Structure 1
Amino acid sequence: MKKPKVAVIMATYNPIYFIKEQIDSILNQKDVDITIHIFDDGSSDQTMLLEPSIANSKKIIVNQCEASGSAGKNFLRAIRDLPLNDFDWISISDQDDIWCDKKVISAINKLKESKANGYSSNLDLYDGKEKYGKLIKNDSKCDFDHYFQGASAGCTYVLDVKLFEACKLALNNCDILNLSADVSHDWAIYYICRTSSLNWYADSNSYILYRQHDNNVYGATRSVMESLKMIFGGWLYNNVSFMDSLNTEKNININGSKIYKLSKIVNVFSFRRGKIESLIAYFWWLFCFNSKK
């Protein structure tokens, strides 16, 4: 039986410590034919990318890119620029996790069973030695959650060709290098899916050891102060503005008047998947969000 062909997009920056373990776990995936496409974001240390097992592998293609300044922008550029060729599925990878050997095929099977276009899952937290908890990301989706959060960590995502093409189309005219460094690629993928009349599947299982260390871009946990800083320090504003700028269908007028926003109070628990988070998102939108468009 012919194995499904999978393109794995990996965005790297100074991948010194954990990339070999990450790559090995991807190449050890069962029942799929995988090619890894590395997009390196102007690393100052490319020692590991020059290792013969990586540089000489026919299953790994390394793309040297102009520095974008953030993992999110590097991933978005990779999605825009990667030719589709004859791949059946596209998966997203960080540079420092470990994938269980049936991660990708399990996602593909779930996508087929559910007739969905995008997939995400829960994650097992990993400290480099052992699992120490689980990050739950399979809460039931809400009407407007895609305007205010992603589906899960992008490293759990698998996309079908239809969703990948929708992402490429939405990003086609986007000046990615001049975006804010805050932009979130995993949020953008989920947003594009939900605003393109496509379907998303959130798996309650986990097939990834999600490594937590000092250099994580976001990591699994944040303090209350860190969360508030992200909400009121520009991160949330920059992402909501970016999502709204994408060329997709809209099911809410994010730039609506105060009266329009007040009319949506009946949907106050539809802005994020957690009720308290949804309340915060709604009132932030009501009082703090004024697009500069």
Structure 2
Amino acid sequence: MPVKHPKVAVLLAAYNGMQWIEEQLASILGQLAIDVTIYISIDPSTDGTEGWCAAYAAEHPEVLVLPAAGSFGGASRNFFRLIRDVDFDGYDFVAFADQDDIWHTNKLQRATYVLQTREVDAYSSNVTAFWPNGKTHFLDKAQPQVAWDFLFEAAGPGCTYVMSKSLADSLKKSMLDNWRLLQDVSLHDWYCYAFARSHDYRWYIDPEPSMNYRQHERNQVGANKGLSPLVARYKTIHDGWWFNQVQLIAHLIGHDSHPFVRTWLKLRRRHLLRLSFSARHCRRRMRDKIFFFCICWVTALIGKMTR
């Protein structure tokens, strides 16, 4: 029977967030039927985020600001620090939060209910992207999972992730064992999804949107909509970043010696051509399967493959 009021540790990474963080914190503290504690880790900021968060935490006992830990240089390292330093004992679930979104009031209630009733270990969901001009766009990430998608993409925006304590504890242990290499992982949500799937944890991607996903010029990774993001995505592949991340994540999760992975992990021309024919097993959405196939061929024939 589901826990009536689950205890959830929310890990929030902040950096120059004064423009949005108060609205986001209010949406998290307003969650229905959940006992929530928010842990904030702040990358050194220039807009007063540290002082404001300290004052806010002094007035809200459910909010705790972690001690300064130097510059992280990106959200991924900031989230890894949160996972490392927050004690999960006493919590039922662990969730990620960005500083600039707006959560639906039932986001954690629905996530924890799904986790318990479906007997899965991790949850993510679709989102509704929104822009300052009032435009919105539904982002669908809930296509059926395939055998190897976790090596090539995340489960969706990391700010929708909610994990069981057992998965969070296992993730933390693996991270501590690989801390130095982990610092080169650019996207924490991709890594967390890969770790969970590769270690046989069950993951559910909810087709219902759980939050409003704010879009602005400082998004590290935003809504993949229109031609510009597609061009930007191709550039990261052509420059070698994406395939290098694939190699690194495969190594960190212990899959670099798997027979399937070994057939293409060196990412030379013949390996990429071979990998292209597994596109249907490597991405969830049909458009992305086609893009994956084409990118493997283009990269093999004319593109830069690794740094």
Aligned length: 291
Q: Deviations over 1:108-164 (max 9, x none)?
A: 111122211111111111124746110110011111111110000001110011211
Q: Deviations over 1:85-110 (max 9, x none)?
A: 21100110000000010001101111
How far apart in 2 are the matches of 1:201 and 1:248?
Answer: 22
How far apart in 2 are the matches of 1:205 and 1:263?
Answer: 36
Q: Which moved more, 1:275-284 or 1:160-169?
A: 275-284
Shift of 1:268: 3.1
SS in 2 for 1:53: helix
Q: Which moved more, 1:1-10 or 1:40-49?
A: 40-49
- Listed as ranges, the gaps of 5+ residues in structure 1 are none
Residues 22 and 98, structure 1, Cα contact 8 Å, conserved in 2:
yes
In the alignment, what sits opposite 1:71?
Answer: 75
Residues 268 and 282, structure 1, Cα contact 8 Å, conserved in 2:
no
**Cα pair distance change 1:221/1:262, threshold 3 Å:** closer
How far apart in 1 are the matches of 2:95 and 2:295?
Answer: 29
Q: Which moved more, 1:117-126 or 1:215-224?
A: 215-224
In the alignment, what sits opposite 1:183?
Answer: 186
How far apart in 1 are the matches of 2:147 and 2:297?
Answer: 16
From 283, 289, 297, the counterpart of 1:275: 289
Query: Percent same amino acid at aligned positions?
Result: 31
TM-score normalised by L of structure 1: 0.88
How far apart in 1 are the matches of 2:25 and 2:180?
Answer: 26
Shift of 1:65: 2.2
SS in 1 for 2:177: coil
Shift of 1:215: 1.2
How far apart in 1 are the matches of 2:213 and 2:178?
Answer: 30
In the alignment, what sits opposite 1:7?
Answer: 9
TM-score normalised by L of structure 2: 0.85
Q: Deviations over 1:183-237 (max 9, x none)?
A: 1000011000111011110100001000111111121036132111121223303
Shift of 1:249: 5.2
In the alignment, what sits opposite 2:233?
Answer: 227
Residues 125 and 205, structure 2, Cα contact 8 Å, conserved in 1:
yes
- Listed as ranges, the gaps of 5+ residues in structure 2 are none
Residues 237 and 289, structure 1, Cα contact 8 Å, conserved in 2:
no
From 101, 114, 117, the counterpart of 2:118: 114
How far apart in 1 are the matches of 2:136 and 2:272?
Answer: 41
In the alignment, what sits opposite 2:198?
Answer: 195
Residues 131 and 209, structure 1, Cα contact 8 Å, conserved in 2:
no
Shift of 1:49: 3.0
**Cα pair distance change 1:123/1:2, threshold 3 Å:** closer
How far apart in 1 are the matches of 2:54 and 2:77?
Answer: 26
Q: CA RMSD in A?
A: 2.7
How far apart in 2 are the matches of 1:257 and 1:188?
Answer: 20
